[in-house]
Amino acid sequence: MNIQYHKHFEKRFAKLSPKLKQKVISAIKKFSTNPHDVRLHNHVLVGRLAGLRAFSVTGYIRVVFEEHDNYILVIILDVGTHNQVY
């Protein structure tokens, strides 16, 4: 899996607390090993974000991403609370 990070994600990530940054990094590592790990709750998005997917970092923090070619390429677009990213 090739993971690329969008500028928007990088800006939001920089604003997170050190503790949350570590949780996001850990979740991305899990995701890169197994994108269908049930602990991540990887799911399809609908509405204005149709065509994108998201996974959970914590109960309220989500990572939004775009998946290409059956997870050969993943572009991580956003990170934040449910309300921030949706």
Provide the domain limits for residue 50: 2-85
Asked if 81 contacts 66 with a C-beta cutoff of 8 angstroms, the reply is no
pLDDT tens-digit map of 52-73: 999 999 989 999 999 999 999 9
Q: Is the pLDDT of residue 82 over 90?
A: no
Domain count, the chain: 1
Residue 86's pLDDT band, with cuts at 50, 70 and 90, is confident
CATH number for the domain that contains residue 72: 3.30.2310.20
DSSP conformation letters of 35-63: TT-GGG--EE--GGGTT-EEEESSSSEEE
Q: Tell me, rounded to whole angstroms, the distance of Cα 21 from its chain centroid.
A: 12
């998201």: which residue's tokens?
A: 54
60: its two tokens: 């309220």
Asked if 34 contacts 22 with a C-beta cutoff of 8 angstroms, the reply is no
pLDDT tens-digit map of 3-60: 999 999 999 999 999 999 999 999 999 999 999 999 999 999 999 999 999 999 998 9
User: What is the model's pTM?
Assistant: 0.93
